[in-house]
Each structure stands twice: as structure tokens, then as C-alpha cells.
Amino acid sequence: MIVVTGLNEAQIEGLVKSKASFEIHGLRGNFMAGIKQVETKIENLGMKCRVKSDVKSAVVQGGALGAVFTVLTTPATLTIATLTAAAGVGHTLVTYNPDYEIIKDYVNKRLKVVYKK
């Protein structure tokens, strides 16, 4: 897989135009900006994308979130879980059959951009 270091706009745009899959490393200070930039490049070319979290990083974050949820009461935890699940289903339906999938790796501050079609 091709690796892009930092937010090299020209390289990212070229890879998206050629419908290539790639990874972006070195996003320590501008992780959210990197997600937005890739998303914008894909959508400007008339393609759809779905942004989701890497399962491995979600498991690591689950440890911290688990501590927060134990403080909350059971009804509140169930309400939050229900709202989160509903939002996830809604987002999946809106981005049905995307051209690209952007997978966020919060732990390592990198993005995996995968061409799906």
C-alpha cells in the first residue's frame, strides 16, 4: 500500500483521482484536518466516502470509555448506547456503497484510505 507522509495535497489528490488505496502517516498535530481534506478531495471528484474508526483503536479507547460508563447509571448508559447505534446505522445508510472508505486510527494518528469499487 502507498504511504503518504503528512498532508501532501497534490499527492493525495493524485491518488484519489487514480482511485488508489493508500495510508497517510504523520498526522499528529492535524489529524482532524487530514480526515476533512481527504473527504473533501473525494467528494469534489463526485465520489462518496464513509469514515469509520479502526476496530483496534476502538478497543483501546473502550478501556477509557468503559470507566466513564461505569460511573453513569444503567438507564443513561443504555440511552447513550441506543443513540450511538442509531447514529451509526443512519450514517451507514447515507453512505451506502461508497467509492472510498476512510479508516481512522486514533492511536497511531494515521488514516487508511481504501478504494472499494
- The band of 91, judged by pLDDT with boundaries at 50, 70 and 90, is very low
Look at residue 105 and give its three-state secondary structure. Answer: strand
Report d(CA 43, CA 41) in Å as an integer. Answer: 6
- What pLDDT score does 74 carry? 53
**Integer angstrom CA distances of residue 2 from 14, 23, 73:** 12, 6, 46
| Whether the predicted pLDDT of 35 surpasses 60 | yes
Residues 6+ apart with CB under 8 A from 96: none
Residues 6+ apart with CB under 8 A from 32: none
Reading the block at residue 116, the C-alpha cell is 472499494
Report d(CA 103, CA 13) in Å as an integer. Answer: 17
Tell me the per-residue pLDDT of 39-90, one tens digit each, with 9 for 90 and over.
Answer: 999 999 999 999 999 866 545 555 555 545 455 555 555 555 555 555 445 5
| Whether the predicted pLDDT of 30 surpasses 90 | no
Q: What is the pairing mode between strands 100-105 and 110-115?
A: antiparallel
Report d(CA 89, CA 93) in Å as an integer. Answer: 6
| 69 vs 27 pLDDT, higher one | 27
Tell me the per-residue pLDDT of 13-23, one tens digit each, with 9 for 90 and over.
Answer: 999 999 999 99
